[in-house]
């Protein structure tokens, strides 16, 4: 009986720590705001909701999470990445790990490992597109904050950067840790009662 209970406690702890320190890949997803044509600053989009204007979105995946509370330039090697300008017509294109290169990546993260400030740029390989590139920046040390894409018709969105999310969270929220701790305490209480009865 005691051996069974000890094994049960060990399994609970291993499951709990697995949920706190998530094993596996980490995907960082960016969602930008509407782009405007650089030549005219036009906000006209021919096909709602964004049409030719488009907006940047995409993600990159890492085997290990970005460090928490970090600020600066860091060399990252994504397992994969893909970013698109979401244009609905011939102006649309997607840059990924198979047809482009990540030129630079500067970032800051908070205590949960979520990106809060950034600057990055992707450039297409000549075989895919000789003029295509995508980038975004939003950091106190960089002005202006914006997303941009360049091909035959460059576009931007000055002072309207998007947001990042990460899945799974490298560091759980405090509320998640409280729930896990409460579960452990309850499990240990049950085990103690059964040991006394035995």
Specify if 185 maps to a domain.
Answer: no
What pLDDT, on the 0 to 100 scale, is given for residue 39? 58
Q: Global pTM?
A: 0.72
What pLDDT, on the 0 to 100 scale, is given for residue 80? 96
What pLDDT, on the 0 to 100 scale, is given for residue 76? 84
CA-based nearest residue to 85, from 138, 42, 32, 29: 32
The domain tally of the chain equals 1
Helix axis angle for 174-197 and 2-20, nearest 10°, is: 180
Specify if 79 maps to a domain.
Answer: yes
What pLDDT, on the 0 to 100 scale, is given for residue 125? 95
Specify if 72 maps to a domain.
Answer: yes
- DSSP helix/strand/coil, 60: strand
Specify if 48 maps to a domain.
Answer: yes
What pLDDT, on the 0 to 100 scale, is given for residue 14? 45
φ, ψ of residue 54 in degrees (nearest 5): 70, 180
CA angle 33, 37, 39 (to 5 degrees): 150
What pLDDT, on the 0 to 100 scale, is given for residue 187? 46
Query: Can the peptide bond before residue 144 be classed as cis, meaning omega within 30 degrees of 0?
Result: yes
Specify if 162 maps to a domain.
Answer: yes
Query: Which range marks the domain in which residue 111 is found?
Result: 25-172
Specify if 73 maps to a domain.
Answer: yes
Specify if 193 maps to a domain.
Answer: no
What pLDDT, on the 0 to 100 scale, is given for residue 43? 53
Specify if 20 maps to a domain.
Answer: no
What pLDDT, on the 0 to 100 scale, is given for residue 161? 87
The segments of the chain whose pLDDT lies below 50 read 4-22, 44, 47, 50, 173, 175-181, 183-187, 190-191
What pLDDT, on the 0 to 100 scale, is given for residue 10? 43
């Amino acid at each position: 009986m005691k051996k069974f209970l000890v094994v049960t406690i060990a399994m609970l702890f291993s499951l709990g720590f697995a949920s706190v320190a998530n094993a596996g890949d980490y995907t960082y997803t960016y969602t930008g705001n509407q782009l405007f044509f650089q030549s005219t600053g036009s906000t006209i989009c021919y096909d709602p909701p964004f049409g030719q204007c488009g907006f940047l979105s995409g993600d990159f995946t890492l085997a290990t999470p970005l460090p928490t509370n970090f600020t600066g330039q860091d060399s990252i090697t994504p397992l994969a990445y893909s970013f698109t300008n979401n244009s609905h017509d011939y102006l649309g294109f997607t840059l990924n790990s198979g047809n482009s290169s990540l030129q630079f990546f500067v970032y800051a993260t908070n205590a949960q490992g979520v990106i809060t400030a950034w600057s990055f740029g992707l450039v297409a390989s000549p075989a895919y597109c000789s003029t295509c590139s995508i980038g975004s920046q939003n950091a106190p040390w960089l002005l202006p904050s914006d997303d941009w894409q360049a091909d035959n018709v460059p576009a931007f969105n000055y002072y309207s950067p998007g947001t990042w999310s990460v899945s799974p969270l490298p560091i759980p929220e405090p509320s998640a840790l409280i729930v896990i701790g409460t579960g452990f305490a309850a499990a240990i209480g049950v085990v103690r009662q059964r040991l006394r009865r035995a």
